[in-house]
Amino acid sequence: MNSRRSWIVYGIGVFAYLIAVMQRTTIGVAGVAATDRFHVSASVLSTLAVVQLIVYAGMQVPVGVLIDRIGSRVLMIAGTALMVVGQVAVALAPSIAIAIVGRILVGAGDATVFTSLMRLTNSWFRGKIVPQLSQWIGNVGQLGQVLSAVPFALLLHLSGWTVAFLTAAALSVVALVGIVAAVTDRPVGASEGPRPVSWSDSLRQLRISLARPGTQLGFWSHFVTQSSGTVFSLMWGIPFLVFAIGIEPAEASALLTVLVGAGLISGPILGILTARFPMRRSNLVLAIVGLMAAAWTLVLLWPGQPPLWTVIVLIAAIGIGGPGSLIGFDFARTFNPLHSLGSANGIVNVGGFLASFVMMFLIGVSLDVQAHGAGGDAQLYQLDHFRWAFAIQYVIVGIGVGFLVHARRRTRRRLKDDEGIEVAPLWVALVGAWRRRGGREAL
Domain end point (choices 152, 185, 218)? 185
Spell out, as residue ranges, where the chain has pLDDT lower than 70. Answer: 1, 28, 31-32, 41-47, 49, 191-193, 374-380, 424, 427-443
Residue 340 lies in a domain: yes
Based on the fold, state whether residues 363 and 243 are members of the same structural domain.
Answer: yes
Same-domain pairing of 356 and 248: yes
Question: Of 155, 185, 215, which residue sits at a domain end?
Answer: 185
Q: Quote the pLDDT of residue 43.
A: 56
CATH number for the domain spanning 82: value is: 1.20.1250.20
What's the rounded Cα separation, in Å, for the pair 100 and 103? 5
What is the pLDDT at residue 36? 81
Domain finish residue from 129, 155, 185: 185
Give the range of the structural domain holding residue 72, as residue numbers without chain letter. 1-185
* Helix 129-147 × helix 327-335 angle, to 10°: 140
Per the domain annotation, does 67 fall within a domain? Answer: yes
Residues 169 and 245 in one domain: no
Amino acid letter at 17?
Answer: Y
Residue 175 lies in a domain: yes
99 and 208 housed in the same domain? no
Same domain, yes or no, for 243 and 384?
yes
CA distance 89 to 105: 9
**pLDDT score of 48:** 72
Name the pTM for this structure: 0.83
Clarify whether residues 84 and 202 are in a common domain: no
Residue 105 domain-assigned (yes or no): yes
> Are 66 and 116 members of one domain?
yes
Whether 108 and 208 map to the same domain: the answer is: no
Q: Is residue 401 part of a domain?
A: yes
Give the other-Cβ count within 10 Å of 355's Cβ: 25
Q: In this predicted structure, what is the pLDDT of residue 377?
A: 54
Q: Can you give the length of the chain in residues?
A: 443
| Residue 136 included in any domain | yes
In a shared domain, residues 144 and 43: yes
Q: What is the pLDDT of residue 41?
A: 62
The answer to whether 79 and 110 have CB atoms below 8 angstroms apart is: yes
In total, how many domains does the chain have? 2
C-alpha distances out from residue 98 to 93, 104, 214, Å: 5, 10, 42
Q: What is the 3-state secondary structure (H, E, C) of the chain?
A: CCCHHHHHHHHHHHHHHHHHHHHHHHHHHCHHHHHHHHCCCHHHHHHHHHHHHHHHHHCHHHHHHHHHHHCHHHHHHHHHHHHHHHHHHHHHCCCHHHHHHHHHHHHHHHHHHHHHHHHHHHHHCCCCHHHHHHHHHHHHHHHHHHHHHHHHHHHHHHHCHHHHHHHHHHHHHHHHHHHHHHCCCCCCCCCCCCCCCCHHHHHHHHHHHHHCHHHHHHHHHHHHHHHHHHHHHHHHHHHHHHHHCCCCHHHHHHHCHHHHHHHHHHHHHHHHHHHHCHHHHHHHHHHHHHHHHHHHHHHHCCCCCCCHHHHHHHHHHHHHHHHHHCHHHHHHHHHCCHHHHHHHHHHHHHHHHHHHHHHHHHHHHHHHHHHHHHCCHHHCCCHHHHHHHHCHHHHHHHHHHHHHHHHHHHHHHHHHHHHCCCCCCHHHHHHHHHHHHHHHHHC
User: Could you tell me if 293 and 166 lie in one domain?
Assistant: no
